[in-house]
Each structure stands twice: as C-alpha cells, then as structure tokens.
Amino acid sequence: MVSLRPTFAIVLRQFYLMQGSPVRVLPLFAWVAIDMITWGFMTKYLNAVSGSGFNFVPSLLGAVLLWDFFVRVMQGVTTAFFEDVWSRNFLNIFATPLSIPEYVGGLVLSSIATASVGLIVMLVLATTVFGLSFLVYGLLLIPYLLVLFLFGISLGVIGCGIVLRFGPASEWLIWPIPALISPLVGVFYPLSTLPAWMRYLSRLLPPSYVFENLRSIVLKRSGSPYALLWGVALDLAFILLASWFFSHIYHHAVRTGLIARYSAESLS
C-alpha cells in the first residue's frame, strides 16, 4: 500500500535542499527564461524578415515553451533522484520502509513542483513580452501539456534506472537525452521534413503528436484530438515501460549488492 507520508518526505527533502541552496533554485527559472528571451527575439526577427505575414510566435515560441516544459519535467525527476546519488544516500533511503512506488511518487511530485515554477515563468515572459496568446491553441493546450508531462515523467524514471544500474558517472548520459530526442519529434519543423526512417521513430514518440498538432492548429486552424489521444496512449505505454524498467533495475541492484556498494560502479 502506498502511503502519502513517505512520498511527502521526498518532496520536503527537495524543498529543504532548495531552501538552503540558491544554486538549486536558479536553474528552475533562469534557463527557461533565457530560452524564452532568445526564441522570443528570434521569432520577432523571423516575423520581420519573412514578410509573409505568418506569425512565428505561436508556432516557434510556443513549441519551445512546451519543449522546455517537457525537459523540466524530466529533469525534475532525475535531479531529485540525483540528490540521493550525490549525497550517497541509497543505503539510508532503501533500508527504510519506503516502497519503490512511494519513492518514485515523491520524485514525480518534486518534479511537478519544480517544473511548475519554470512553466509559470515561461508563460509570463512569453505572453507579456512577446505577445504569445494561448487562445490560439484553445483547450488543446491541456492535452499538449499532459502528453509532454507524462513523457517527461517516463523518461525521467528510465533515466533514474540507468543511473542506478550503471553508477553515478552515467548521469552524463541522462542530461543530453532531450537533445537526442528533439530532432525526432519535430519541435522546430514538420515531421515531413525528416527522412522516412526517422519518421518511423517519430511515430513512437508522444511529443511528435503534440508538435504536429500545434503546427496544424496555427497553420490550418484545426488540430486532431485523436492524434493526441494516440500520444496519450503511447505515454501510458512509456509509463508502464519506465515502471517495469526501474523496478527491474532496483531488484537487480538488491540482488547483486549494488545499492549497498553503489559508488563502486563495477558490480555486475
């Protein structure tokens, strides 16, 4: 049975760490704010030079905002997990009655809190400084965020599993994951731009449906809720895969003694 108290403890720990360290607070909003400013001016420039009358703000700046939200969600999960890696806390944590669903639930709640800060900062900057109106997307904005949120959670949990399996140094494999996925999901261009073999991969990634939908809304004034439903279905498959993967890695770590001697990295 999942209890809320231990899950809350994980969130509270993140709060304590933020409270005591401005270095942890700054990245919550600084990088997304820089992204909004950079891409905000970029879209203004494109609007000015294209001369087509096409407004790049909702298609490009909106896409960057949604992509950054996904990245923040994923990194919210992994960063909360890395705190236990960095402080060599696995033995203390996993020798408690805390269950894996409670632990992962705490990582997810921490991520919701930290990603929300970034989202609010991006929304404020994009709307007030660059005139991005979310009315363009209508109610589809909610499934957009949902699809990206669920995918961010699942990739975050998979990232935690990889670091648990391969040791602290494998953290450097996790940070670039969003950059690796970005070309495949068409954040900045339609999927039709990609070669056929890449489009096959795109179809397996839920964010592809969000960004294709977003462009369709901006260009043709019509989105496809069914395509988004497919994105949600893929998300659920990714969540199941991530849960199985982390649980499998955790049990492997308990069987081999990896948790007890985590920093050794070399246990098979």
Partner 1 sequence: MPPAVLSVRELRKQYGDTIAVDGLSFEVNRNEIVGLLGPNGAGKTTTINMILGVLEPTTGTILVEGADLASKRTQVLACTNFAAVYAPLPGNLTVIQNLRFFGLIYGVKNLASRIQTLLEQFDLLAFRDTKCGVLSSGEQTRVSLAKALLNNPRLLLLDEPTASLDPSVAREIRLKIREFAARGEGGVLWTSHNMYEVADVCDRVLFLSHGRILLAGDPRTLPAEHGKETLEDLFVAVAREPLALERA
- The nearer residue to partner 1, 39 or 103, going by C-beta atoms, is 103
- Considering only the stretches 90-98, 114-122, 162-170, 228-236, report the one whose residues sit in contact with partner 1 under the rule CB under 8 A: 90-98
- The nearer residue to partner 1, 114 or 213, going by C-beta atoms, is 114
Asked if 74 and 152 count as a contact pair (C-beta separation under 8 A), the reply is: yes
Q: Which of 34, 47, 64, 42 is nearest to 210 (CA)?
A: 64
- Considering only the stretches 56-64, 95-103, 125-133, 193-201, report the one whose residues sit in contact with partner 1 under the rule CB under 8 A: 95-103
**For the purposes of burial, counting CB atoms within 10 Å of the CB of 210, is it exposed (0-12), middle (13-18) or buried (19 or more)?**
buried
- The nearer residue to partner 1, 94 or 188, going by C-beta atoms, is 94
**How far are the Cα atoms of 36, 153, 172, 197, 265 from residue 112, in angstroms, in the given order?**
20, 9, 23, 34, 30
Q: Which parts of 116-135 interact with partner 1 (CB under 8 A)? A: none
Q: For the CB of residue 251, give the shortest distance to partner 1 in the complex, in Å.
A: 8
Q: For the CB of residue 247, give the shortest distance to partner 1 in the complex, in Å.
A: 14
260 binds partner 1 (CB under 8 A): yes
Asked if 42 and 141 count as a contact pair (C-beta separation under 8 A), the reply is: no
87 binds partner 1 (CB under 8 A): yes
- The nearer residue to partner 1, 5 or 220, going by C-beta atoms, is 5
Cα 258 to Cα 268: distance, rounded to the nearest angstrom:
8
- The nearer residue to partner 1, 105 or 206, going by C-beta atoms, is 105
Asked if 184 and 203 count as a contact pair (C-beta separation under 8 A), the reply is: no
CB-based contacts of 234, cutoff 8 Å, min separation 6? 204, 205, 206, 209
20 binds partner 1 (CB under 8 A): yes
21 binds partner 1 (CB under 8 A): yes
Among 18, 98, 112, 123, binds partner 1 (CB under 8 A): 98
